[in-house]
Amino acid sequence: MMAAIIFVVSVVTLLMFFVSYCRSLMVSSSHHTLSQEVRDVAGIPARVSGQDFTRVMQLLQLCPERPRDRTGLEAVGFYYAMLDLVQKSVARAVPSLHLWTEHERAGCANFAAVALDRRIAFSREILAQQGDF
């Protein structure tokens, strides 16, 4: 009985800390203005939506990696998968939860779009350096 209570409490706090941790990873990208080039390439209209995430992640795989954003992307990717699962199951019955998951998914997509923007700039830098030789 005691183990079951500890398990439930631990899972609830785990979710709470994990959501906040992922948000702390994403918060740095929330003030970044996306370039028009990335918007055109990824087909992102005025605002990034949760549905853009998968497409942006596919585009990210085509660009050379920046070592700094690899681990953050993996954590946010896991968070997105978790949100996706909630949206397709429990959130269908709870409208407020549906709105919340959609808002969070859009945050994940924005984080990925900013990473794409930085990777494109990084690729340009590499090409420019190669051009100098």
Q: Which residues bind other proteins (CB under 8 A)?
A: 3-4, 6-7, 9-11, 13-14, 16-21, 23-24, 27-28, 30, 68, 71-72, 100
The residue among 33 and 36 lying less far from other proteins, judged by its C-beta, is: 33
Q: How far is the CB of 94 from other proteins (least distance, A)?
A: 13
| Dist. CA 47–CA 73, nearest whole Å | 20
Q: How far is the CB of 95 from other proteins (least distance, A)?
A: 15
Tell me how far CA of residue 43 lies from CA of 15, 51, 85, 124, in angstroms: 32, 11, 24, 21
Q: How far is the CB of 18 from other proteins (least distance, A)?
A: 5
Q: How far is the CB of 49 from other proteins (least distance, A)?
A: 20
The residue among 41 and 82 lying less far from other proteins, judged by its C-beta, is: 82
C-beta of residue 102 within 8 angstroms of C-beta of residue 84: no
The residue among 7 and 92 lying less far from other proteins, judged by its C-beta, is: 7
C-beta of residue 114 within 8 angstroms of C-beta of residue 32: yes
Q: Where do runs of H (alpha helix) occur along 43-94?
A: 52-60, 70-88
Q: How far is the CB of 99 from other proteins (least distance, A)?
A: 12
C-beta of residue 113 within 8 angstroms of C-beta of residue 40: no
Q: What are phi and psi of 3, to 5 degrees?
A: -60, -35
The residue among 18 and 122 lying less far from other proteins, judged by its C-beta, is: 18
The residue among 39 and 84 lying less far from other proteins, judged by its C-beta, is: 84
Say how many CA atoms lie within 13 Å of 63 toward its Cβ. 28
